[in-house]
Amino acid sequence: MPFEYGKEIAFDEQLRISTEGTLKILAILRKHDVKATFYCTANYANNKPDIIHQIVSDGHELASHGYYHSDFKPEHLKQSKNALEQLSGQTVKGYRMARMMPVDEKEIQKAGYVYNSSINPTYLPGRYNNFSKPRTWFYQDGVLQMPSSVSPLVRFPLFWLSFHNLPLGLLKWLSKITLKKDGYLNLYFHPWEFTDLNQPEKFGFPGYVVKVTGETFVERIDEFIRWGLKQGYAFGRTDRFVEEVTASK
């Protein structure tokens, strides 16, 4: 992200920020005894195998986020899957393209993935327009598509920026009506959001990105999970949900 705003960050610092955030996420999930899916680049995994082992040992799913975040070639699909499987000892079933950019589903299938979660089925100016895509899971070229969740009717995205900028009460309501309509939610966040991003000289981010980050964001996600559990909602890994979908076909 900082590269998009004209800033440079050393690779060691990138690893440190990602690792710090990942450890905070793991602590929140452990606290509530819930599982999640971690989309990880092979580049990060190769440099931080201890964190990959912790993700797996905590019972979470490891999925691919490509080989590098800022560089993509079709061969990276298989290469990243192989690297993550070798490091983790898990079968990697899922893929998410960096920045939710388009990816050839035939190449996804050829690389051996069961599902792809690379679609945000809404309109984001300057990024993508996916109003023509289904809001909920569907099959394409033999691969189960798991779009990120958007609200019914207006397709308001329930993605990471929403969790920084909307009142928590409104987020809970939007999540509740979307869950009631679709039967599930597919939410996503990034480890670096759990770092204090209000450092303009270092990151160069606009206000809507830095709002509610660091420990404040830890508290917000902690409260959201606590609220969901109190509602009786189940939290889980994407691969387990995909297994249920596949079994019900």
Res 204: pLDDT: 92
Please give the tally of structural domains in the chain. 1
131: CATH: 3.20.20.370
What is the pLDDT, as a whole number, of residue 76? Answer: 98
Domain interval for residue 64:
2-248
pLDDT at position 248, please? 85
Which residues of the chain are modeled with pLDDT < 50? none
Q: What was the pLDDT predicted at 243? A: 97
Please give the pLDDT value at position 1.
85
Q: Compute the distance between CA of residue 160 and CA of residue 29 in angstroms, rounded to an integer.
A: 17
pLDDT at 166: 98
> Rounded to two decimals, what is the model's pTM?
0.96
**pLDDT at residue 2, rounded to an integer:** 87
Per residue in 154-167, pLDDT (tens digit) is 999 999 999 999 99
